[in-house]
Amino acid sequence: AQTVTQSQPEMSVQEAETVTLSCTYDTSESDYYLFWYKQPPSRQMILVIRQEAYKQQNATENRFSVNFQKAAKSFSLKISDSQLGDAAMYFCAYRSSLIIQGAQKLVFGQGTRLTINP
Amino acid sequence: EPEVTQTPSHQVTQMGQEVILRCVPISNHLYFYWYRQILGQKVEFLVSFYNNEISEKSEIFDDQFSVERPDGSNFTLKIRSTKLEDSAMYFCASSEGSWREQYFGPGTRLTVT
């Protein structure tokens, strides 16, 4: 079974600075998807960024980018120019790419609570 | 932009009572999911649903749980006899295809007393 580990329960960063959240995962599959979800105090889960394992290029979405190291099974999220609205719980998630019944579930890490200091 | 909606936002029930949590997935999505998050813990998969049947369920999804798509728009999670440990945030999600992103609803906070 796949597992996802986020070793940083809490992180804080000064507004406008850059912060990196860590995520490692364990899988025997060669193709899969990785995601970062944001959960603000409202508790809704919002998709931040997605990475396909077969792509070598790291995904970017505006101020959010990832550092995907497939061999190391590492998938970190970098937030540049941090804003107060970035304060949230961030979850890393894994999903298999197998097109078989039941392969679509997301496996989440424990989450990292990010605080932005003004 | 289309979004997943869930009702109610907060449900309080007594132990042993039945609850039904409702979700309206995005209209052209075909895959539906329920996840659960106990306060302070990680989000856990409960069940996935496609083509009017369960695709996969976790160990949490025992006989007390059931899902249904009663019409073309709603997707429900029923807990037949609630326990204290069922207190959690329940998230519904949907995706257009098995390979596509899952979009989450705002969640229903279930409190069992």
Give the tens place of pLDDT for each residue, B62-77. Answer: 999 999 998 878 999 9
Written as one letter, the residue type at B16 is G
Task: Give the separation between CA A71 and CA B109, rounded to whole angstroms.
Answer: 39
pLDDT for position A45: 87
Give the tens place of pLDDT for each residue, A17-32. Answer: 999 999 999 999 888 9
Give the tens place of pLDDT for each residue, B22-63. Answer: 999 999 999 999 999 998 888 999 999 998 899 899 999 999
Position with higher pLDDT, B2 vs B108? B108
Which pair of tokens denotes residue A16?
């406008």
Average pLDDT, chain B: 93
Contacts of B62 (CB under 8 A, 6+ apart): none
3-state class (DSSP) for residue B9: coil
State mean pLDDT over A103-110.
88
Q: CA B15 → CA B59, B82, B87, B92, distances in Å?
A: 21, 5, 10, 23
Q: Smallest Cβ distance to B101: which of A50, A97, A107?
A: A50
Contact criterion met (CB < 8 Å) for B91 and A97: no
State mean pLDDT over A33-55.
91
In the block, residue with structure tokens 């890490």? A109
- Interface probe for B, chosen from A106, A110, A113 (most Cβ of B below 10 Å), is A106
B19 in Cβ contact with B13 (< 8 Å): yes
A113 in Cβ contact with A9 (< 8 Å): yes
Q: Which residues of B touch A108 (CB under 8 A)?
A: 42-44
Kindly report the nearest CA distance between residue A83 and chain B, in angstroms. Answer: 22
- Closest chain B residue to A42 measured between Cα atoms? B106
Q: What is the DSSP letter of A66?
A: E
State mean pLDDT over A76-80.
98
